[in-house]
Amino acid sequence: MANMAKIIANCSQWTSYINHKFVQNLTAASLTKTQFKKYLKQDTIYLFHYAKIFALLSTKTDIVSDFYFVIKQIKNIEQELVSLYQNYYPNVNDENVSLAPACQNYIDYLYQVANNSTFLECLISLLPCAIGYSFIGQKLAPIIINNPHHQYYDWINDYSGTEFQNNVLELVNFTNSKIKNLGDDNINLLQTIFNESTKLEINFFNIGVQ
């Protein structure tokens, strides 16, 4: 039976993604504020398009419950933006920010999949972002338990928090319910899409260590 755990296990770049140098530097608080701000500006733009692609995803289903589930994901992304970028970094949206190539390439790929694929193919392209940040949040959570003054406490707290973790778990469970009975050919295609998005996530994290 297909499930997201198997797809993640079959993604050769997954470990490199969740253990990226950006994550290591953020953990050690050796990531400079300039590097973090550079990453955060790009992530703001990315999340704006990420929400728009979920909106495109909602047009690919005639199942009412699926439609409302996708709309809920858009609301979750809106909350993420409010938490991270209007509260934690209030001025980032007011600045004229040009897209870094890694961000542009990632967004372009997601739109390409969204505009030329099925509901499941579009959905799977969006999952490395959400699931990866969930893994990273879980990994970093112990670091801030006794260290409320960690330089990146707020970022870690947002992604390790119960609300974000539960949202991602719900997304994974929803996806599992959709792919559990798929044949090998369909799963192989989803695996290819998932792998490509994971590679683009790695390239995106490179923005924060350049």
State the pLDDT confidence band at 103, using cuts at 50, 70 and 90.
very high
Q: pTM (2 decimals)? A: 0.94
Question: Which residue type, as a one-letter code, is found at position 141?
Answer: A
**Domain locations along the chain:** 33-209
Q: In angstroms, how far apart are the furthest CA atoms of the chain?
A: 49
**The tokens of 11 are what?**
């993604």
Which of 37-41, 109-113, 136-140, 194-198 has the weakest average pLDDT?
Answer: 37-41
Distant-in-sequence, close-in-space partners of 78: CB < 8 Å, separation ≥ 6: 51
CATH number of the structural domain 33-209: 1.20.910.10
Report the pLDDT averaged over residues 16-44: 94
- Measured between alpha carbons, how far is 42 from 46 in angstroms, rounded to an integer? 6
User: So what's the pLDDT on residue 93?
Assistant: 52
